[in-house]
């Protein structure tokens, strides 16, 4: 087992990782930018190393400084958390070159999944259902026209280097293709320095259902059922829950098996998530794979009482996983993201000092946060300040408990997304589980007016 792990991250996830390391008897090294000198991850780690000024490029994305911090402190592994360097294949390689174990998948696998057209082609070859469309990248407008005609409009043009919605366009009819093709390509070039594009059939009212998987160094892969992450706004998830209200056990098993098949095909090591779109007829299609621990991993931890970070560390150290399928039994969990943003003013960021802070507690309530009374939220990083996760024996019980916990949560000094979540938990269609990725587009007016 590792003796000392460096956590190449900040905020709640850095704290989350430090906690598990302590339980495992592993020493921890925090890294921090000068903006985070008073952060809890710095205080709770055994050692802490400053890696640069506030801009992420100069600190949390600064590979040379992070490797130097690991070497100076004698860390034998690095946990990247999510965001920052978590899906950077080059960083994973540099760690290996320095004899430091990167706690995550193999660099080649990160590289495949980072190229969305290649990821899709690879999963198709593995026998995982994918959205009908081009087989890999599309080189020319003429080729794009041909494929779009064959699959039928509407189609979606997507950037291979994309994800998160950038460089993506819906095309309703052939007359619009040329124009939107050019726009999407320009956007992709500007955002990613790569304008490779692919095309697929546009699905109208899908749900976003993802499968949590865990693979080891011996080719075993297990899955831990699904999370429904359809409640999003501008590609930012706001709520995640499990089980998905849209799945029956038969469908759940088929998606889970598809995810395991795909992950085994690439010998996937570590925690990962296979993202699927689920259409109104119960068809599911792989769209992307995330090669990291995700923000919403606690939803899965709560329904299975299973520490995913601990498992990630164990498989990184060469301990095998059981290679089985896990389904929740009478357990429901939901997470809401509490961001320092004003939900009634277009989710405008609201950094600054938290003047008063009281977090909810009680049975089935978990709060993952790095915030405290007096903490100053720096403007340089993302605005998530807490995750509130509740679990119970029914979905109804979860929503009831979530509402109670949200009403108990006190955060003063900055605006937060709490009032939005309080309304959402009382929305009849949400309560019925009747939602898809367009939920906020449809009900945003009533949920987001001041
Ligand atoms: C789609 C789609 C409909 N049809 N692909 C958005 C970001 C990227 N991860 C994939 N996305 C989508 N791909 C086809 N063929 C609709 C979306 C989409 C979406 C997907 C998941 C969650 C929220 C979303 C919001 C808008 C669009």
Task: Convert the pLDDT of each residue in 240-279 to its tens digit.
Answer: 999 999 999 999 999 999 999 999 999 999 999 999 999 9
pLDDT of residue 450: 87
CATH number of 132-201: 3.30.1490.20
Q: Which of 299-308, 320-329, 368-377 has the lowest mean pLDDT?
A: 320-329
Q: Does the annotation count 234 as an active-site position?
A: no
Average pLDDT of the chain is 97
Q: Ligand 1 centroid vs 323 CA: distance in angstroms?
A: 30
Task: Among 275, 287, 294, 435, say which to mutate for ligand 1: greatest number of ligand atoms within 8 Å of CB.
Answer: 287
Q: For 35, how many CA atoms within 13 A lie in the half-sphere containing its CB?
A: 17
Q: Which tens digits make up the pLDDT trace of 307-350?
A: 999 999 999 999 999 889 989 889 999 999 999 999 999 999 99
Is the pLDDT reported for residue 164 higher than 80?
no
Q: Which tens digits make up the pLDDT trace of 91-110?
A: 999 999 999 999 999 999 99
Structural class in CATH, domain 207-447: alpha beta
pLDDT of residue 322: 87
Q: Give the closest residue (by CA) to ligand 1 atom 18.
A: 437
Q: How confident is the model at residue 140 (pLDDT cuts 50, 70, 90)?
A: very high
How many other CB atoms are there within 10 angstroms of residue 396's CB atom? 11
Q: Which tens digits make up the pLDDT trace of 387-425?
A: 999 999 999 999 999 999 999 999 999 999 999 999 999
Is the pLDDT reported for residue 163 higher than 80?
no
**Looking at ligand 1, which atom is closest to the CA of residue 204?**
3
Q: Which tens digits make up the pLDDT trace of 10-34?
A: 999 999 999 999 999 999 999 999 9
Looking at 3.30.460.80, 3.40.50.360, 3.30.930.10, 3.40.50.20, the CATH number of the domain 4-103 comes to 3.40.50.20
Cα–Cα distance, 147 to 135 (Å, whole number): 10
Task: Give the sign of the dihedral formed by CA 336, CA 339, CA 341, CA 347.
Answer: negative
Q: How confident is the model at residue 165 (pLDDT cuts 50, 70, 90)?
A: confident
Is the pLDDT reported for residue 354 higher than 80?
yes
Determine what percent of the chain is predicted with pLDDT higher than 70.
100
Q: Which one is catalytic: 207, 227, 292, 331?
A: 292
pLDDT of residue 166: 84
Q: Give the closest residue (by CA) to ligand 1 atom 24.
A: 437
| Range(s) within the chain of domains with CATH label 3.30.470.20 | 207-447
Cα–Cα distance, 178 to 17 (Å, whole number): 47
Q: Which tens digits make up the pLDDT trace of 64-79?
A: 999 999 999 999 999 9
**Looking at ligand 1, which atom is closest to the CA of residue 133?**
15
Task: Please name the residue ranges forming H helices in 49-192.
Answer: 63-73, 89-97, 107-114, 116-125, 141-151, 174-192
pLDDT of residue 360: 98
| Range(s) within the chain of domains with CATH label 3.30.1490.20 | 132-201
Residue 81, both tokens: 């958390």
Is the pLDDT reported for residue 199 higher than 80?
yes
């Amino acid at each position: 087992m590792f003796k000392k792990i460096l956590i190449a991250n900040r905020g709640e996830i850095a704290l989350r990782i430090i906690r598990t390391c302590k339980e495992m008897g592993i020493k921890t090294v925090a890294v921090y930018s000068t903006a985070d000198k008073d952060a809890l991850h710095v205080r709770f780690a055994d050692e802490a190393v400053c890696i640069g000024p506030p801009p992420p490029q100069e600190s949390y994305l600064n590979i040379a400084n992070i490797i130097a911090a690991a070497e100076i402190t004698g860390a034998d592994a690095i946990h990247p958390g999510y965001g920052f360097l978590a899906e950077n294949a080059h960083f994973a390689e540099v760690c290996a070159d320095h004899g430091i174990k990167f706690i995550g998948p193999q660099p080649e696998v990160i590289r495949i999944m980072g190229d969305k057209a290649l990821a899709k082609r690879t999963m198709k070859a593995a026998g995982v259902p994918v959205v009908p469309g081009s087989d890999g990248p599309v080189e020319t407008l003429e080729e794009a026209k041909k494929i779009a005609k064959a699959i039928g409009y509407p189609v979606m043009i997507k950037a291979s280097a994309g994800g998160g919605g950038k460089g993506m366009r819906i095309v309703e009819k052939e007359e619009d293709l040329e124009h939107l093709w050019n726009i999407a390509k320009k956007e992709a070039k500007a955002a990613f320095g790569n304008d490779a594009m692919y095309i697929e059939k546009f699905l109208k009212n899908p749900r976003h259902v993802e499968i949590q998987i865990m693979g080891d160094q011996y080719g075993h892969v297990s899955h831990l059922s699904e999370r429904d992450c359809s409640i999003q706004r501008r590609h930012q998830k706001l709520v995640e829950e499990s089980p998905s209200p849209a799945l029956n056990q038969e469908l759940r098993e088929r998606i889970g098996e598809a995810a395991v098949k795909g992950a085994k095909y690439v010998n996937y090591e570590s925690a990962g998530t296979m993202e699927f779109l689920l259409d109104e007829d119960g068809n599911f299609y792989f769209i992307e794979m995330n090669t990291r621990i995700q923000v919403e991993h606690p939803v899965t931890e709560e329904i299975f009482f299973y520490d995913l970070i601990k498992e990630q560390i164990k498989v990184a150290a060469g301990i095998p996983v059981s290679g089985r399928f896990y389904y929740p039994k009478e357990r429901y969990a939901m997470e809401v993201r509490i961001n320092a943003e004003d939900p009634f003013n277009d989710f405008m960021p609201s950094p600054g000092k938290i003047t008063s802070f009281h977090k909810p507690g009680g049975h089935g309530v978990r709060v993952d946060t790095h915030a405290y009374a007096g903490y100053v939220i720096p403007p340089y990083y993302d605005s998530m300040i807490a995750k509130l996760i509740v679990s119970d024996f029914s979905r109804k019980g979860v929503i009831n408990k979530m509402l109670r916990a949200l009403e108990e949560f006190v955060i003063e000094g900055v605006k937060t997304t709490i009032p939005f979540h309080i309304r959402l938990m009382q929305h009849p269609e949400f309560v019925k589980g009747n939602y898809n990725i367009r939920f906020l587009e449809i009900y945003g007016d009533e949920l987001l007016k001041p």
